Structure 1
């Protein structure tokens, strides 16, 4: 208890951490959720008494997993018996790979198809289906009640989407591949068909922590709750999230209710809440609290709680002047409010708007740095071997990066093991050898080719003799080449330089440009939100438009520490988002 107090945790956080049983924790924005998770993990690691015990933490993103792991390691704890990652990684490591022999579709081997390859396959299939035309974007899906369910809100496309998915699954089966949703599907099938799997895991895991429970899919709850139920209370739960930020429902997110979780898990669970906001000013907290769907009392406890926040709403500007207005707001933030570049975020509802906006702002504000879509040459292909290796070769050695890069070296060794390649190096030895590779090359693609060649030579691997590594190699470079070609077509010739490649794994810097979904979990001094229009916020086919609009505005507004600028521009043939337009608030006038 004294350690938790000295670490700066409040009474609410300490009560949740010290509860001996299972916890269902509702955490408002800026309430120290990550800090609470970190110290709960730390306390559980201290209690481990057997080499067969594990603490498991399931996060929504790999970035969140990295952040929490680094915080735990920063406390000086041994993390050998901590497993942390996404639900897909969890299912692969703990269910599918150990028990694939019991699933006919997987028992003769399988590989994970990368997202670019999956999209390319779906686009090829869709192109053969005629009109009305659909693309891989339309074919996003998730499993519900054992059936592939299209995520597209356009029900008129569902018949064609199901036809495309049917052919897609046939090809994947023939090529012994599975995608991310099939990982969940087969993990659920295995744990449902063979209850002994859940029993075994419940004897190993002393606790399973779930971050962002409101964004977790229903099938994911069926998987982890099977483990809880099989353990008869041996495995505790620590479930954390905020139903007011459940903006992934149209993507399959399932904000499970407390009673439903208790029913599925068969656990005795205690409800807790975190209601103190340590992020935003009192005025910002008051503002975003208006848009909460689920009633919650939020109190401002931030150091900046008395900051005289500027909160503005512009619904009179035309779309042709939107870019000018954003430039003015950036300059106003920098020059009048003394906000640094890396504390400014521009948020829009759809990626297509943002890529073009990023390029134009870079041209108009050359004195500023930007972190937006289309600026780096390849995406986060997390299960691609060469992406794992690129994290080491494109990051710079240094004390502040050592723990992270050591973990990446471990990921490379694990991936080699999965490909049947034996390596005598420990992760520290491998990292030391990789640090010695010195490539003098300014072109990013050529740099990677030469580095990867040096890596293969170091470990005496013939990539032509390993289909897995070869396929990943071709996919990695094909995807990167296409991104570079698209960027150069749009006038971004700098994208193929090695320094731009290195941006992928550096801490974010400059003005952030992101979607509402992409910025979730982040925080900035100043937030600029635009295109806050009916049909966009929320989407015009959203089945719960009023509730979804409130949650989206809640997420945008609660990212801000100090100042908030909201825009519903005219000229897009859409009206301002109703819940925003109807909110009678004393907005701040801005004089440029």
Structure 2
């Protein structure tokens, strides 16, 4: 177990407050990239290290298996062993299986992982004609109903406002919903929503079982609280009982799953439910550059300024403050048609890869999965490795399951094979499933299968690098089994292709947001104000996935020679600066635009290459032009502020910003605000003190 002071080291002031506020209800409003996972895991670890928490009495709940796995790994590193970190469904399923005999008796029903097959069968029984795409929409509608605790009967009464899947009306969907429920009942099956519903019923009707659960778990933490559904919130209240040791973390600006029943109301109204709750805001963005953060802030501010009375509830968004050095300006590219857009994006990525950037640090994000195909084909033609995220779960893929089985069999006759010798042996085993040394050129299923097998090889290589000769085939198989039990997929090589929804919680150094047109962003069926608001939040999530470079592109028509009847997204109004006309004919103009933005040293005229040089307007070779005594006063002042506020010195102002202040010697707040690194919050907090130092 780590020393409590060591656990708090490196946290900023707000993160430290979150980590040390250990009792009572706590609401943490955490913006994108503000280190919320760091804050909440350090909070748990600090509570355990100080003896306030018994680790076995703590339950941390999140929404994805990947996020839960990351939380467990961080807690282990911090010495907080024994803490349970699970998804809502995993925690509920474990409790349901444990209490089933006591509460209900008999065998626990089998779990339906994919309800689409049963829905298709129910539709056929009812002689209802449908296709696979519509089946997915119907599955989503049934999930929404169950997350809102509706039965087929109550759904028909309350679903009149819902937009039905194409070709279906409320009565037909209700009949299918009932048919699906009947089919599950006939076969003793339950789905994921049933797990929560049944457990809620048990906890609310069986006082002894509820008391057992509440005695086991006394401290609760819920991440991504803006995504909680009415059913999940009811389960949380059943877990809590009359206690209030609850910490919730979320960001209303990242509420993007309303179609599943998620609502940010519980996060917004937390203070009404718990009047004595402590509120903490995390606004220091450690992920993205100031240019990207400014873009994201402006996107939300445009909606915040809207004053039409009929608009739905829009909570004041967090205004993020980037803690990173300045970076390149976001690029806006307009293309004549879809093919040109795909070619332009591919060309930009080829340049990045040639410059030494890793493919795994690059992502293409889109609104609908259908947009992926054009980029997959371009990448295959260009020999660029890629992976499609958000498709079938990694460990559920047939090639992955077969690969693990074959590796397990091979391990029985692999005595003496360890360390680096494991890798060629694995490649030989996986070759029968389609693995080759070079990636296949075609797209589709063949390429996806190869990427899956290659991810297994890469995982083994990482293990060998970390543990050396301790790694055997048995060790690799054990690692894969452990990850499979938690659906913790390995990081795959190559550029990521993903819908914005599936990119939530992830980040990349470079992000391409493609297809930014009306009809896609916002999506065409977002006809109501509340739906358009959700699309804005979705766009915000896409922007804030980028750490350093952000490209936004759109095409004016579907194909070459087609009518240019598409319009850039309305969301670009508040954020677009200059626009590149992408395509071969526009290349000279794009180059001229690039040359015009080149920054040069104000002393010798040399091109400035680093963010620090551009911030102060001078290359490192030229001597400073500030008064050393003034600079020393600024440094001393910064040290005093960082000590009193208990934050790192760079959080106050970076060295480059202090140099810029000393060299420019601003005489008023307006001049000070013009300097890079001095945002509105810092101007309000430190402006008067800085000007006083300069005037003295």
SS in structure 2 at match of 1:254: coil
In the alignment, is the contact (CA less than 8 A) between 1:209 and 1:239 conserved in 2?
A: yes
User: CA shift at 1:173, angstroms?
Assistant: 1.2
> Aligned match of 2:522 in 518, 538, 541?
538
2:193 matched to 1:181?
Answer: yes
Q: Which residue in the other structure is 1:273 paired with?
A: 281
Q: Which residue in the other structure is 2:14 paired with?
A: 12
2:129 matched to 1:138?
Answer: no
Distance in 2 (alpha carbons) for counterparts of 1:73 and 1:393: 31
Task: Map 1:44-55 onto structure 2 (within 5 A).
Answer: 44-47=47-50, 53-55=56-58
Q: Which residue in the other structure is 2:573 paired with?
A: 582
- CA 1:515–1:324 in structure 2 vs 1: closer, same or farther (change >3 Å)? same
Q: Which residue in the other structure is 1:298 paired with?
A: 320
Q: Which residue in the other structure is 1:97 paired with?
A: 97
User: CA shift at 1:126, angstroms?
Assistant: 2.5
Distance in 1 (alpha carbons) for counterparts of 2:63 and 2:567: 31
Distance in 1 (alpha carbons) for counterparts of 2:31 and 2:183: 44
Q: Which residue in the other structure is 1:312 paired with?
A: 331
In the alignment, is the contact (CA less than 8 A) between 2:330 and 2:551 conserved in 1?
A: yes
Deviations 1:301-360 (A, max 9, x none): 02xx212x2312234431232221221221243346x53322111001112322x23531
Q: Which residue in the other structure is 2:430 paired with?
A: 442
User: CA shift at 1:277, angstroms?
Assistant: 0.4
Distance in 2 (alpha carbons) for counterparts of 1:12 and 1:202: 30
User: CA shift at 1:516, angstroms?
Assistant: 0.1
Q: Which residue in the other structure is 2:374 paired with?
A: 357
In the alignment, is the contact (CA less than 8 A) between 2:361 and 2:509 conserved in 1?
A: yes
Distance in 2 (alpha carbons) for counterparts of 1:523 and 1:379: 19
Distance in 2 (alpha carbons) for counterparts of 1:520 and 1:282: 21
Distance in 2 (alpha carbons) for counterparts of 1:157 and 1:536: 25
Distance in 2 (alpha carbons) for counterparts of 1:385 and 1:319: 33
Q: Which residue in the other structure is 2:547 paired with?
A: 561
Q: Which residue in the other structure is 2:491 paired with?
A: 507
User: CA shift at 1:585, angstroms?
Assistant: 3.4
Q: Which residue in the other structure is 2:362 paired with?
A: 344
Unaligned runs of 5+ in 1: 396-434, 448-486
Distance in 2 (alpha carbons) for counterparts of 1:40 and 1:50: 10
Q: Which residue in the other structure is 1:470 paired with?
A: none
Distance in 2 (alpha carbons) for counterparts of 1:31 and 1:387: 35
SS in structure 2 at match of 1:56: strand
Q: Which residue in the other structure is 1:410 paired with?
A: none
- Larger gyration radius, structure 1 or structure 2: 2
- Which segment is superposed worse, 19-28 or 55-64? 19-28
- CA 1:574–1:190 in structure 2 vs 1: closer, same or farther (change >3 Å)? farther
Q: Which residue in the other structure is 2:228 paired with?
A: 216
Deviations 1:91-141 (A, max 9, x none): 1112x123324665x7543111222xx322222322454566254202222
User: CA shift at 1:393, angstroms?
Assistant: 7.7
Q: Which residue in the other structure is 1:28 paired with?
A: 31
**Structure with more relative contact order (C-alpha pairs < 8 Å, separation 6 or more):** 1
Distance in 2 (alpha carbons) for counterparts of 1:52 and 1:34: 18
- CA 1:320–1:530 in structure 2 vs 1: closer, same or farther (change >3 Å)? same
Q: Which residue in the other structure is 1:79 paired with?
A: 81
- Which segment is superposed worse, 438-447 or 523-532? 438-447
Distance in 2 (alpha carbons) for counterparts of 1:389 and 1:199: 44
Distance in 2 (alpha carbons) for counterparts of 1:528 and 1:70: 30
Distance in 2 (alpha carbons) for counterparts of 1:128 and 1:582: 50
User: CA shift at 1:365, angstroms?
Assistant: 2.1
Distance in 2 (alpha carbons) for counterparts of 1:536 and 1:581: 13
- CA 1:534–1:385 in structure 2 vs 1: closer, same or farther (change >3 Å)? closer
User: CA shift at 1:191, angstroms?
Assistant: 2.2
Aligned length in residues? 494
Q: Which residue in the other structure is 1:330 paired with?
A: 349
Q: Which residue in the other structure is 1:372 paired with?
A: 388
SS in structure 2 at match of 1:521: coil
- CA 1:529–1:496 in structure 2 vs 1: closer, same or farther (change >3 Å)? closer
Distance in 2 (alpha carbons) for counterparts of 1:284 and 1:446: 41
2:252 matched to 1:243?
Answer: yes
User: CA shift at 1:197, angstroms?
Assistant: 3.7
* Aligned alpha-carbon RMSD (Å): 3.7
Q: Which residue in the other structure is 1:168 paired with?
A: 180
Deviations 1:25-80 (A, max 9, x none): 111111011111211121233355897942111111111111111111122x2522
TM-score, normalization: structure 1? 0.74
Task: Map 1:29-68 onto structure 2 (within 5 A).
Answer: 29-47=32-50, 53-68=56-71
User: CA shift at 1:88, angstroms?
Assistant: 0.3
- CA 1:344–1:386 in structure 2 vs 1: closer, same or farther (change >3 Å)? closer
Distance in 1 (alpha carbons) for counterparts of 2:359 and 2:284: 27
SS in structure 2 at match of 1:564: strand
- CA 1:184–1:267 in structure 2 vs 1: closer, same or farther (change >3 Å)? farther
SS in structure 2 at match of 1:552: helix
SS in structure 1 at match of 2:28: strand
- CA 1:219–1:138 in structure 2 vs 1: closer, same or farther (change >3 Å)? same
> Aligned match of 1:119 in 92, 116, 121?
116
Distance in 1 (alpha carbons) for counterparts of 2:568 and 2:173: 30
- CA 1:170–1:387 in structure 2 vs 1: closer, same or farther (change >3 Å)? farther
SS in structure 1 at match of 2:264: coil
SS in structure 1 at match of 2:265: coil
- CA 1:527–1:501 in structure 2 vs 1: closer, same or farther (change >3 Å)? closer
Unaligned runs of 5+ in 2: 305-315, 409-421, 436-440, 458-487, 559-563, 581-589, 595-696
Distance in 2 (alpha carbons) for counterparts of 1:390 and 1:205: 39
TM-score, normalization: structure 2? 0.64
User: CA shift at 1:565, angstroms?
Assistant: 1.0
